Amino acid sequence: MMADVHGGATGGEAAETAVEKHASSASPGVAVERADRISNPGFPPERQRVTDLDPAKERSAERTVSGLFLLSVVGSVLAVVAYVAFPIVEGDPSTIRLNNLFLGLGITLGLLGIGIGAVHWSKALMHGHELVEERHGTRGSDETRAKAVEIFQAGNAESGFTRRSLVRNTLIGALVATPIPAIAIFRDLAPAEDPIALLKHTMWEEGVRLTRDPSGTPIKASDVTIGAAFHVIPEGLAELESHKLEEKAKAAVLLMRLPLDRLNEREDRKDWSYDGIVAYSKICTHVGCPVALYEQQTHHLLCPCHQSEFDVANHAEVIFGPAARPLPQLPITVDEEGYLVAKSDFTEPVGPSFWERAL
């Protein structure tokens, strides 16, 4: 028993001594390379395509790619033609379906033609051999940069971009034609008439009653108490047969009553209010959002979109936020029956402030 223990201890000491000798004799940082390490097999041989082996097939593929690019041009042009040939008529839902159908088909042809053509070009005409791009620093050496130029030139030669003039020119034509439908559509969003005149003139005119939104009930001056706020539309708006929303978007008004000692009015606007009742455009002068939050104690109006704040007691001047000018004021008075009426239209354009630059 003792001999076994002693022998075991002696073997352990011998093993530790051998490890120490190996550690002391080995150089630091030297690793042991395994003899059975798998070698890099490299890339498989490039598989030749029919376009690589047959010049006739190559020319046929080139014509196919060019045809797809030309189809993209035709689709983009047809989208514009369809947008004009099938206009949307108000009150006729079938015109909306036709317009969307043919406009969508044209845009689809434009996008699919250029997309499928580019993919077919890369699959059939560009070289398909595999390669490895080693990672390198952001700024390479002059030799590396020269090599990059060489690779770019080789890629240009392999793709045939400069050599295949038919494919290149039809691709450029497809790229130029693709944005045309978007330009036509977005251009049509702008009013055909002068936008300044459209926003400067609303349904308000002398004698038009102020009515509640949306009921259209006329408002008497006695109905407006201090601290109250009314959302107002011009009388007759509900009876409009067309462009009702457009007219409401321009003519919407907020009506408030302030204590006379809190209302600061310029001399030229003292007759624009009635017994502390003032009316201002509801359309924010920043980007046209509805200014609908009224703070009774401070008499401030807040636009919830971008937090522009207006002081109603001082001609709705901007006291905070990105709005560039005060809210336009609607001159008001009362008629013989005590109903609030407009004295005139707004004296400046409503809505975003960039419209007044041309005034």
Confidence at residue 359, expressed as pLDDT on a 0 to 100 scale: 44
Confidence at residue 89, expressed as pLDDT on a 0 to 100 scale: 85
State the SS3 of the chain. CHHHHHHHHHHHHHHHHHHHHHHHHCCCCCCCCCCCCCCCCCCCCCCCCHHHHCHHHHHHHHHHHHHHHHHHHHHHHHHHHHHHHCCCCCCCHHHHHHHHHHHHHHHHHHHHHHHHHHHHHHHHCCCCCCCCCCCCCCCCCHHHHHHHHHHHHHHHHHHCCCCCHHHHHHHHHHHHHCCHHHHHHHHHHCCCCCHHHHHHCCCCCCCCEEEECCCCCECEHHHCCCCCEEEEEECCHHHCCCCHHHHHHHHCEEEEECCHHHCCCCHHHHHHCECCEEEEECECCCCCCECCEEECCCCEEECCCCCCEEEHHHCCEEEECCCCCCCCECCEEECCCCEEEECCCCCCCCCCHHHHHHC
Confidence at residue 276, expressed as pLDDT on a 0 to 100 scale: 93
Report the chain's terminal Cα–Cα distance, integer Å. 114
The burial of 70, by beta-carbon neighbours within 10 Å (0-12 exposed, 13-18 middle, 19 or more buried), is given as: middle
Nearest to 274, CA basis, from 250, 294, 258, 290: 258
Report yes or no on whether pTM surpasses 0.75.
Answer: no
- Could you tell me if residue 185 is left (phi over 0), alpha (psi between -120 and 50 degrees) or otherwise beta? alpha
Which CATH number applies to 199-342: 2.40.50.140, 3.90.1150.10, 2.40.70.10, 2.102.10.10? 2.102.10.10
Q: What is the mean pLDDT of each run of 10 residues along the chain (359 residues)?
A: 44 49 51 68 81 89 92 92 88 88 93 92 81 67 84 81 83 86 76 68 94 93 91 91 86 94 90 94 92 90 93 94 93 95 92 64
CA distances from 316 to 63, 125, 234, 300, 348 (A): 66, 67, 21, 8, 14
Residue 251 and residue 204: Cα distance in Å, rounded? 7
Q: Which residues contact 218 (CB under 8 A, 6 or more apart)?
A: 209, 210, 211, 235, 339, 340
Q: Is the bond leading into 214 cis (omega within 30 degrees of zero)?
A: yes
- Name the residue ranges covered by the structural domains of the chain: 47-133, 144-183, 199-342
Confidence at residue 243, expressed as pLDDT on a 0 to 100 scale: 82
Token look-up 């035709």 returns 74
Residue 8 backbone dihedrals phi, psi, to 5 degrees: -65, -40
Structure tokens at 176: 């130029």
Residue 176 and residue 232: Cα distance in Å, rounded? 48
